Chain A
Amino acid sequence: MDVQAFLAELDELFELDPGTISPADSIPDIPGWSSLTFMGLIALVDEELGITLAPDTILGCATVGDLLREVGLTPAETNAQAA
């Protein structure tokens, strides 16, 4: 899964229009951020990337970009793929 696809999954989880969430966004400020979407995020990373993220790792991520790096997706890849 590439960065764009992952961001699209995030938009779906938070029920935002496609293309809303970007790497610079602050995670706790995403509209709809709650213990339920938190649970969903862990499930998403597990199902789509096969990575078990510790809850505290997510809490340690300030931005979506930090989260992308934690799961081995770097925002720079987006540009590479878009190019």
Chain B
Amino acid sequence: MLDATALADRTILVTGASSGLGRAAAVMLSRLGARIIAVGRNEARLIETAEQLAGTGHLVRPFDLSAIDEIPGWMKSLSAEHGPLRGVVHSAGRHLARPLQMVKPDAVQELMQINVTAALMLAKGLRQRNVFEAPASIVLLSSVMGQVGQAGVSVYSASKGAVDALTRSLALELAAIGIRVNSIAPGQVETEMAQQQRQTLTEEQFERIRALHPLGLGRPADVAHAVAFLIADTSRWITGSTLTVDGGYTAH
């Protein structure tokens, strides 16, 4: 059951905790008793998140995940200092809206690095001896764009399709050592990323997107509840799956 002790004494690393869905997830997990290691690049914004967390003992650890080679070693030192991790939520990510003629290889590389490669390296980091304690759970933030297409969003879509595929193979590889791996595919949620996207749309285009969500646009807490379910033992028999949380967007 998900109550205030569901995650008591469990340390959960949350990337992208400085904003949007990562911040909402960190807050939700803390209310269930988890100790949060809040990760992102912007320290001031991570501290803002920490101030919203329930309970004590949380940590703010600024880190640039584009230094992918360093991720496993960094996780090893985190766990040496603060004890083994019981879960990782990867909510750090980037969005890109570009017509194909404007897509540049460098931008593809950068986006794939944080959305996909960092996810893989976080799993690689977690599976090391003494870094995790079973049962553990990894939740990767994917998107409905990994399941359906949208013109101008091909790079982002490809990265999210990769996240869902990664989830399945990682789940099989890590099941034997007690690590579950699942992804969440949100529809449009009102966060900073959504705000940035909105700046590229006319009122009419935005209304069309809103209309494609039968239950309206999502709130960060809608996704955070799904994260909590997948991190906690409530989902102990679920691995390798993608949980769609989209207000009906992909039901069409």
Which residues of chain A have C-beta atoms less than 8 A from B201's C-beta?
55
With a cutoff of 8 Å between Cβ atoms, the chain A residues found around residue B203 in the complex are 55-56
Q: In terms of DSSP, what is the predominant structure of the interface of chain B? A: loop
Q: Would you call B102 and A44 a contact (CB within 8 A)?
A: yes
- Among the 9-residue stretches A19-27, A31-39, A64-72, A75-83, the one with 4 or more Cβ atoms under 8 Å from chain B is A31-39
Asked if B97 is at the interface of the complex by the 8 Å CB criterion, the answer is yes
Q: In the docked arrangement, what's the CA distance between A46 and B142, Å?
A: 26
A43 touches B202 (CB 8 A): no
- Assuming the contacts A35-B205, A39-B152, asked whether A55 and B101 have C-beta atoms less than 8 A apart, the reply is no
B202 touches A40 (CB 8 A): no
Q: Which residues of A contact B97 (CB under 8 A)?
A: 39, 43
Tell me whether A40 and B101 are in contact (CB under 8 A): yes
Question: Is the C-beta of A8 less than 8 angstroms from some C-beta in chain B?
Answer: no
Residues of B within 8 A of A44 (CB): 102
Q: Report chain A residues within 8 Å CB of B199.
A: 42, 52, 54-55
Contact between A15 and B200, CB atoms less than 8 A apart: no
Chain B: residues with Cβ within 8 Å of the partner, total of 13
Chain A neighbourhood of B151, CB < 8 A: 35-36
CA distance A12 to B100 in the complex (A): 12
Tell me if A30 is interfacial: C-beta within 8 Å of chain B: no
Check if B124 is an interface residue, CB within 8 A of chain A. no
| Closest Cβ neighbor of B208 among chain A residues | A35
Q: State whether A13 touches B101 (Cβ < 8 A).
A: yes
B187-236 CB contacts (< 8 Å) to partner A: 199-203, 205
Instruction: Find the residue from B98, B200, B202 having the highest chain A CB count within 10 A.
Output: B200
The interface residues of chain A lying within 8 Å CB-to-CB of B99 are: 13, 36-37, 39-40
Scan residues 37-61 of chain A and give those whose CB is less than 8 A from a CB of chain B. Answer: 37-40, 42-44, 52, 54-56, 59
Complex Cα gap A42–B199 (Å): 9
User: Which parts of B100-132 form the interface with A (CB within 8 Å)?
Assistant: 101-102
A39 near B98: Cβ-Cβ < 8 Å:
yes
- Are B98 and A59 in touch, CB under 8 angstroms? no
| CB of A56, distance to nearest CB on chain B (Å) | 6
Question: What CA separation (Å) do A18 and B202 show in the bound complex?
Answer: 28
Contact of A55 among B98, B102, B152, B200 (CB under 8 A): B200
Q: Are B102 and A43 in contact (CB under 8 A)?
A: yes
Taking a contact as CB atoms under 8 Å apart, the answer to whether B202 and A42 are in contact is no
Contacts of B200 in A (CB 8 A): 39, 42-43, 55
Q: What is the bound-complex CA distance between A13 and B104, given in angstroms?
A: 13
The contact string, 1 if C-beta is below 8 Å from chain A, for chain B 41-64, is 000000000000000000000000
- Min CB–CB distance A35 → chain B (angstroms): 6
Closest Cβ neighbor of A44 among chain B residues: B102
Is the Cβ of B152 less than 8 Å from the Cβ of A56?
no
| B 147-175 contacts with A by CB, 8 A | 151-152
A13-B99, A39-B200 given; name 18 further pairs at CB < 8 Å.
Answer: A13-B101, A13-B102, A15-B101, A35-B152, A36-B99, A37-B99, A39-B98, A39-B152, A40-B98, A40-B99, A40-B102, A40-B152, A43-B97, A43-B98, A43-B102, A44-B102, A56-B202, A56-B203
7 contacts between A and B (CB under 8 A): A13-B99, A13-B102, A35-B152, A36-B152, A39-B97, A39-B152, A40-B99
